[in-house]
Amino acid sequence: FIKHIEEFQRSASAREKDSPYRAPMDAPHHDLKWLEAELIPQSMQFMIDCLPEIRRRCRQVGRERVDFLDLGAACGAGSQLLAAMHRWAWSGFALQVSALDLKHTYAAYARRYFSDINYIVGDIFQIPAERTWDVVLCSHTIEHFRDPTPFIRAAQARATHWAIFYAPYSERQLLAGHFLSITDELIENWGGLDISIMDSPAWVHPHDEQVRTVIFTLPGTALAGIAQTGDAPSSEPVEN
């Protein structure tokens, strides 16, 4: 750890030293340049991909102010983009956006630079049952679980209206860190509605010839009182 700090102090630029972001010790290549040149643009593009479904579902809430959760938000750049675009009700609704991520990795950076969102570090299974949002979005997260069903149901249980899921579609060769190929059969088993398969400029696969993403929606169950209490599993994704 000391050597890691000493190397950072020796080699980092003044901007890197001033930044609240620090690359994880187990992924030093995920430095500030990677964050700002790769992860942030990807996060924003994924949110842009989801905008038509988000807007459709938020209008169905039927209120001018919609409480929105971006679950598994990572750096929070997509959350910030959404919040900035819908700060006012120019499209029929305004959004109050929270971004929830399990890890602290991006929290300090997001809280400094993304002032339109409420960035939360926490586990969806540990969020009090009474804390709900009108609409929950979960983008590019469920593929990191071997069985995301409990996680999906937990997202539904925090949504009073809709839970939207966006993921790589039908991967033939799973990328490192991906443990499940999201197929039509799985989505049908989960009860997915309004399934849309699309191409995304932010989703590139080094092996699969046909690279696509899928977005689908599930009804929120918070108002039905289905949120679970007592001992709960963790939303910690599977590790290699």
Q: Is the pLDDT of residue 226 over 80?
A: no
Identity of residue 200: S
User: If pLDDT is split at 50, 70 and 90, which confidence band does 228 have?
Assistant: very low
Which one, of 140, 188, 147, lies nearest residue 164 by Cα?
140
Distance of CA 121 to CAs 12, 74, 107, 206, 233, Å?
27, 10, 7, 31, 17
Predicted structure pTM score: 0.90
CB 102 within 8 A of CB 120: no
Which one, of 160, 155, 131, lies nearest residue 141 by Cα?
155
Dist CA 197 CA 212 (whole Å): 7
| Torsion, CA 170, CA 172, CA 177, CA 180, rounded to 10 | 50
Tokens found for residue 201: 């400029």
Which residues does residue 226 pair with via DSSP β-bridges, in sequence order?
none
Which residues does residue 67 pair with via DSSP β-bridges, in sequence order?
96
pLDDT tens-digit series, residues 113-166: 999 999 999 999 999 989 999 999 999 999 999 999 999 999 999 999 999 999
Mean pLDDT of the chain: 91
Task: For residue 119, give the DSSP letter.
Answer: E
pLDDT tens-digit series, residues 130-144: 999 999 999 999 999
